[in-house]
Homo-oligomer: A and B are copies of this chain.
Amino acid sequence: MTTNDPAKIKDANTPDVAEAFEEIAETTQQVGLSDDTIREITDALRDEANDGHIALVNDLGIADTADLIQKIPQDDRNSLLEDGGTDIDPQVFSYLDENVQRSTLSAMEPAKVADILSALDSDDALDLIENLDEDFQQQIIKKLSAKIRIAIEEGLTFPEESAGRLMQREYVAVPQFWTVGKVIDYLRAAGDDLPSEFYDIIVIDPLYHVRGEIPLNRILRSKRSQKIEELTLDELHTIPADMDQEEAAYIFRREGLNSAPVVDSDNRLIGVITFDDIIDVIDEEAEEDIMKLAGVEGSDFYRAIFSTTSSRFRWLFVNLITAIAASIVISFFDATIEQIVALAVLMPIVASMGGNAGTQALTVAVRALATKELSDTNTLRVIGKETIVGTLNGIGFAVIMGVIAMLWFDSTMLGLVIGAAMIINLVFAGLCGAGIPIFLNKIGSDPALSSTVLLTTVTDVIGFLAFLGLASIFLI
């Protein structure tokens, strides 16, 4: 049954229910922007005679407008931003993908970008400006009011992907000797000085050291006379401004935090990170892992063709060297292949099965490292398990592929050779699939980035070496 099923409204015999349904039908948003709406707006955009698209765009929510900008072709995007640019809610730009952000903002006047930044919370403003060219950044910063300029210049001093870049400078902090009643009176009087949204009250001492954190629901359910310091959570999770964002996300996730205070190197409160920033980080990091495993530098979905091509070229080039290494192994056995051409037919199977079995183990290990489930205490158990899994599957596929090769080429020995090679390669696949990322992590390399290439080298080289080597011994 859908939300606005007319049958249901007819059934309803009190006006209250009918009214409720109408209201729900009005306010419940459809999930996402439909392709029909996009088509309607691009048609209106291309009709230069009138400005029909402006009304259509104004009807969209913030997230939908961002979606629209991302999904329409470059020409339509330009004409949308040219005539409608000033009417677009500044929040929309925060929702855009990094590549689209850079290209749309770079096409604007610095003063216009400064206006957009001034309308945002400090964390969102920083997020927008940090992706732009340094020259352009400076031009924009000159146009900003002193207050925002200082916030942004300070923000840019924190390392990229650190908590300092994520935090907003707007927060609610109260002294520990206050009561609930005093906090409520303060919030009612503060009005526009408060952040647009907040989820916890931070308790500080006169030197701005954080003494505790109180979720808003604890304030609301307590009597006015209740002392603030008695309401603080048992555990305090302050985040140093230079902490890596991935680490901060790990703390939020483990502790189920809604927001957390950020402190400087003197432990003084300087900002707040909220759960929505953290959801972005989680998305970003998961995306990065997926992309790196496939040899892509972050998502290049919105990246221009030439920059996409060249970034992918680099990884494919590394892969070419790997592939040539495997070819050199094959070339050692060219005399053997010349005599038994069946070897050339079957050899890719051994390499491919090793590569795939290894990738399975590797992916599980890379994720377990990223989520900190894999650490020193269980390293050996994990490598051991993966090696056993590889061995068991190796035996299974040795039997299957051995029988197939025997029947196909009418040679028992060929079947035995491919079976033995399959077991050897799948044992190494399990061992190295788990071992390579663990080793890379231990020496401080990013396991998601280079594991796949190293693993493929191992499974190709060992696959060809075992199969062709055994063949040259037992079949010639």
Q: Interface on A for B, CB 8 Å cutoff?
A: 1, 3, 8, 16-17, 20-21, 23-24, 27-29, 31-32, 35, 38-39, 42, 61, 63, 70-73, 97, 184, 187-188, 190-191, 194, 197-199, 205-207, 209-211, 215-217, 219-223, 234-238, 240, 247, 250-256, 258, 265-267, 275-276, 278-279, 282-283, 286-287, 289-291, 293-296, 299-301, 305-306, 308-309, 312-313, 315-317, 319-320, 322-324, 326-327, 330-331, 334, 337-338, 341-349, 351-353, 356-357, 359-360, 362-364, 367-368, 371-378, 381-382, 385, 388-389, 392-393, 396-397, 400-401, 404, 456, 460
A28 to B223 alpha-carbon distance, docked (Å): 28
Judging by beta carbons under 8 Å apart, are A362 and B294 in contact? yes
Closest to A25 in B: B267
Judging by beta carbons under 8 Å apart, are B23 and A211 in contact? yes
Judging by beta carbons under 8 Å apart, are A256 and B237 in contact? no
Copy number in the complex reads: 2
With contact pairs A296-B364, A330-B348, A348-B330 given, residues A356 and B316 touching in the complex (Cβ less than 8 Å): yes
What is the CB-to-nearest-CB distance from A432 to chain B, in angstroms, rounded to a whole number? 15
Closest to A42 in B: B377
Closest to A401 in B: B320
What is the CB-to-nearest-CB distance from A164 to chain B, in angstroms, rounded to a whole number? 14
Which residues in B have their C-beta under 8 angstroms from that of A215?
197
Judging by beta carbons under 8 Å apart, are B291 and A367 in contact? yes
Closest to A349 in B: B323
What is the CB-to-nearest-CB distance from A244 to chain B, in angstroms, rounded to a whole number? 10
5 tightest Cβ-Cβ pairs between the two chains A and B: A286-B286, A294-B363, A344-B344, A216-B216, A20-B209
Judging by beta carbons under 8 Å apart, are A312 and B393 in contact? yes
Judging by beta carbons under 8 Å apart, are B217 and A220 in contact? no
Which residues in B have their C-beta under 8 angstroms from that of A377?
35, 38-39, 42, 71-72
Judging by beta carbons under 8 Å apart, are A31 and B251 in contact? yes
Which residues in B have their C-beta under 8 angstroms from that of A32?
250, 254, 372
Judging by beta carbons under 8 Å apart, are B199 and A29 in contact? no
Which residues in B have their C-beta under 8 angstroms from that of A184?
220
Judging by beta carbons under 8 Å apart, are A24 and B210 in contact? yes
A404 to B359 alpha-carbon distance, docked (Å): 29
Judging by beta carbons under 8 Å apart, are B388 and A305 in contact? yes
A223 to B252 alpha-carbon distance, docked (Å): 32
A293 to B296 alpha-carbon distance, docked (Å): 14
Judging by beta carbons under 8 Å apart, are A73 and B381 in contact? yes
| Contacting residue for A319 out of B70, B323, B356, B368, CB 8 A | B356
A72 to B373 alpha-carbon distance, docked (Å): 11
Judging by beta carbons under 8 Å apart, are A206 and B349 in contact? no
A437 to B216 alpha-carbon distance, docked (Å): 45
Judging by beta carbons under 8 Å apart, are A235 and B276 in contact? no
Judging by beta carbons under 8 Å apart, are B323 and A348 in contact? yes
Which residues in B have their C-beta under 8 angstroms from that of A291?
363-364, 367
